[in-house]
């Protein structure tokens, strides 16, 4: 895990800014809120470096343009449409910037979604209002050697905070045709042991591009059956890529 980079936002004369890659309107392409119209605020900067990352440009904070919460809100207001479901804070890792997100949350009535890698439980805990959360469960294979159990432990702490605060969420697990069933089994059992009484939803997300599943789709049923023993399970690919939209 990369060292958590602090100070990605700066305060100048009480003006807080954060590095933003883009703000745009589209359909949510992943998970339980798939198809919902959202305004996406993509932060630059991430504390992880997953090898499948489909937004590599957002991993480095220096790739963003520093914007104030007011500038972000102005753009959000420009992009509002009648079918809008929520603002999605995404990245990179949006929870590197909890104070900045709170500045926006304080000034809007729009619903808030957070798309997070789940490894920053203290920051998640700080967010004043969240209507829905997508939280990744990272696998060892998602990293070129720098996965450690702390990643999973921090994801579990984030989940605990969501459960305790009664926030709607789902866990997302990205799998590839070579993902090891035993690894998923171990994580599933660990999750079940920790949160035995909770009703969890897990979204299994077959890695894009979807063509790689053409002759491998059988194992998707294996993953679903394995996790379905303990959780509500959906298997959903990234639809925005199929539609060729952002």
Q: According to CB under 6 A, which residues from 96 to 155 bind ligand SF4?
A: 117
CA 238 centroid distance within chain: 13
Of 50-58, 122-130, 156-164, 213-221: span binding ligand SF4 (CB under 6 A): 50-58
| Options 22, 26, 36, 49; binder of ligand SF4; rule CB under 6 A | 49
Backbone angles phi, psi at 110, to 5 degrees: -65, 150
- Using CB under 6 A as the binding rule, whether residue 18 contacts ligand SF4 is answered as no
Phi and psi at 118, nearest 5°, equal 80, 5
Q: How far is the CB of 194 from ligand SF4 (least distance, A)?
A: 21
The minimum distance between CB 172 and ligand SF4, in angstroms, equals 10
Cβ closest to ligand SF4, residue 26 vs residue 55: 55
Site string for ligand SF4, 153-182 (x = CB under 6 A): ------------------------------
Q: Are 236 and 203 in contact (CB under 8 A)?
A: yes
Both tokens of 35, joined, read 């198809």
- Out of 46, 76, 96, 184, the only residue in the binding site for ligand SF4 (CB under 6 A) is 46
226 phi and psi, to 5 degrees? -65, -50
**Which one, 48 or 175, has the nearer CB to ligand SF4?**
48
How many binding residues for ligand SF4 (CB under 6 A)? Answer: 12
| Unique residue bearing structure tokens 């954060």 | 18
Euclidean distance between CA atoms 56 and 44, whole angstroms: 10
Q: Which of 50, 101, 104, 114 binds ligand SF4 (CB under 6 A)?
A: 50
66 C-beta neighbours (distance < 10 Å), count: 17
Q: Helices (DSSP H) in 127-209: which residue ranges?
A: 149-164, 181-194
- State how far the Cα of 71 lies from the Cα of 128, in Å rounded to an integer: 20
Q: Does 48 bind ligand SF4 (CB under 6 A)?
A: yes
3-state secondary structure of 134: strand
The contacts of residue 156 (CB under 8 Å, 6+ apart) are 190, 191, 194
Q: Residue 55 interacts with ligand SF4 (CB under 6 A)?
A: yes
User: Is residue 93 a contact residue for ligand SF4 (CB under 6 A)?
Assistant: yes
* Options 41-49, 100-108, 121-129, 148-156: segment touching ligand SF4 (CB under 6 A): 41-49
Binding site for ligand SF4 (CB under 6 A): 46, 48-50, 53, 55, 58-59, 91-93, 117
């Amino acid at each position: 895990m990369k060292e958590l980079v602090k100070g990605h936002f700066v305060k100048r004369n009480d003006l807080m800014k954060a590095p933003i890659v883009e703000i745009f309107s589209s359909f949510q392409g992943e998970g339980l809120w798939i198809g919902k119209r959202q305004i996406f605020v993509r932060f630059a900067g991430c504390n992880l470096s997953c090898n499948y990352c489909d937004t590599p440009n957002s991993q480095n904070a220096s790739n963003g343009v520093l914007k104030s919460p007011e500038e972000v809100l102005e753009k959000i207001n420009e992009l509002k449409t009648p079918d809008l479901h929520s603002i999605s804070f995404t990245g990179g890792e949006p929870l590197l910037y909890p104070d900045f997100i709170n500045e926006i949350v304080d000034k809007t009535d729009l619903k808030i979604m957070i798309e997070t890698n789940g490894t920053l439980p203290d920051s998640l805990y700080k967010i004043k209002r969240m209507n829905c959360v997508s939280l990744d469960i990272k696998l060892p294979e998602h990293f070129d050697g720098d996965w450690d159990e702390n990643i999973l432990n921090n994801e579990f702490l984030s989940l605990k905070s969501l459960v305790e605060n009664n926030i709607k969420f789902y866990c997302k697990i990205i799998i590839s045709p070579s993902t090891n069933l035993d690894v998923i089994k171990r994580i599933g059992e660990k999750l079940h042991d920790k949160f035995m009484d909770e009703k969890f939803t897990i979204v299994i997300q077959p890695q894009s591009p979807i063509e790689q599943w053409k002759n491998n789709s059988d194992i998707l049923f294996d993953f679903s059956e394995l996790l379905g023993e303990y959780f509500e399970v959906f298997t959903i690919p990234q639809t925005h890529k199929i539609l060729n939209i952002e």
